[in-house]
């Protein structure tokens, strides 16, 4: 029988462990070990991640982990968010499901994760339920992936994208509307005027070499400068392989306005209208006072 003092100490330790667990999991990334579940192989741990991007590493998976991915601010736009996850190529030891109101839908099997493909789903489809696969041996296993929260294009759902274009949460290569073009200029990770110099087909996507004559913005170094005296930038941007793109002539009507996002360290093409078409849209929006932001088009 526990003495009152021992019982009190145990209750304090338990409260501290609960508080630490809640604090340590309410962040961008989570790293845990199934070894803490020793003797309790059916334990289910709740994890709360509240960032736009991060990672999860679960060593020696045992039992299950429920991962609740939420934006760090609440707004009506949060309902249109989608989650994209990219497993590590050496990720194994568990199956990944979507859990919505207690109903599970298989998202990634253990063997699927070794391909390292990006999988996207709507944030409204539920939380991630990661269930360990029982193993008799004690070899080291780790379930690991990166995640990012992305905004769906207006009027489009995440659908059943797997392994291809994490930036395009709609039909591949679908042209952007006028409103989407203007918004993309304000919100994209990179915006630049230029031409397509070359196209290479990879396993499941196209790698497009782009030459930029005017760089409006880039959050990461997608395009590299040709030098102080050369006002020209070059870089590679990925697209779905279904998109039929060809190198442009590089003059006049061959110019595009390239916009896009950077996902898991890779640049993906978003809206890319002809520059002359964008200029017309922009000038019309300027006259009507409906431009979401200012761009120096001189």
pLDDT digits (tens, 9 = 90+) for 41-70: 568 899 999 888 899 999 999 899 999 988
pLDDT above 70: residue 14: no
Give the pLDDT of residue 137.
Answer: 72
Higher per-residue pLDDT: 171 or 286? 286
SS3 of residue 14 by DSSP: helix
**Total-model pTM:** 0.66
The larger pLDDT score, comparing residue 5 to residue 45, is at 45
Task: Judge whether residue 259 has pLDDT over 80.
Answer: yes
- What's residue 76's pLDDT? 66
Percent of all residues in the chain with a pLDDT value above 70, rounded to a whole number: 75
Alpha-carbon gap, residue 117 to 163, rounded angstroms: 4
Q: Quickly state the pLDDT bin for 40 (edges 50, 70, 90).
A: low
Query: What span, in angstroms and rounded, lies between the C-alpha atoms of 92 and 112?
Result: 9
The per-residue pLDDT for range 196-212, each reduced to its tens digit, is: 988 888 777 888 999 99
Q: How many CB atoms lie within 10 A of CB 7?
A: 11
Mean pLDDT calculated for residue range 144-172: 53
Span of 60-69, 143-152, 156-165, 267-276 with lowest mean pLDDT: 156-165
pLDDT digits (tens, 9 = 90+) for 108-122: 999 999 988 889 999
Top pLDDT among 95 and 62 is at: 95
- Furthest C-alpha separation in the chain: 87
Residue 291: CB atoms within 10 A of its CB come to 17
Q: Please report the pLDDT score of residue 132 as a whole number.
A: 93
Q: What confidence tens digit (pLDDT) does each residue in 162-193 have?
A: 333 433 334 456 788 999 999 999 989 999 99
Mean pLDDT of 155-165: 35
The mean predicted confidence, pLDDT, of the chain is 79
Q: In what order do the strands lie in the sheet with 44-49?
A: 44-49, 64-69, 127-132, 94-100, 103-108
């Amino acid at each position: 029988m526990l003495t009152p003092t021992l019982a009190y100490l145990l209750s304090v330790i338990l409260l501290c462990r609960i508080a630490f667990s809640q604090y340590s999991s309410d962040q961008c990334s989570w790293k845990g070990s199934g070894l803490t579940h020793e003797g309790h192989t059916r334990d289910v741990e709740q994890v709360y991640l509240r960032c736009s991007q991060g990672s999860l590493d679960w060593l020696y998976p045992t039992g299950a982990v429920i991962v609740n991915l939420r934006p760090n601010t609440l707004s009506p736009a949060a309902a249109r968010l989608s989650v994209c996850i990219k497993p590590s190529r050496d990720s194994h030891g568990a199956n990944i499901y979507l859990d919505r109101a207690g109903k599970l839908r298989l998202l990634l099997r253990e063997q699927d994760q070794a391909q390292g493909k990006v999988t996207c789903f709507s944030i409204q489809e539920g939380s991630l339920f990661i269930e360990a696969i029982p193993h008799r041996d004690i070899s080291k296993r780790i379930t690991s992936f990166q995640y990012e929260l992305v905004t769906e294009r207006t009027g489009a759902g995440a659908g059943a994208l797997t392994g291809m274009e994490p930036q395009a949460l709609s039909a591949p290569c679908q042209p952007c509307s006028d409103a989407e073009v203007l918004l993309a200029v304000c919100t994209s990770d990179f915006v630049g005027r230029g031409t397509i110099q070359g196209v290479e087909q990879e396993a499941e996507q196209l790698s497009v070499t782009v030459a930029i004559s005017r760089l409006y913005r880039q959050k990461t170094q997608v395009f590299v400068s040709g030098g102080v005296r050369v006002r020209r930038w070059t870089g590679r941007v990925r697209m779905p392989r279904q998109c039929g793109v060809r190198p442009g002539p590089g003059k006049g009507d061959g110019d595009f306005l390239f916009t896009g996002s950077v996902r898991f360290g890779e640049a993906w093409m978003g809206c890319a209208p002809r520059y002359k078409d964008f200029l017309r849209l922009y000038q019309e929006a300027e006259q009507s006072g409906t431009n979401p932001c200012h761009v120096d088009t001189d």
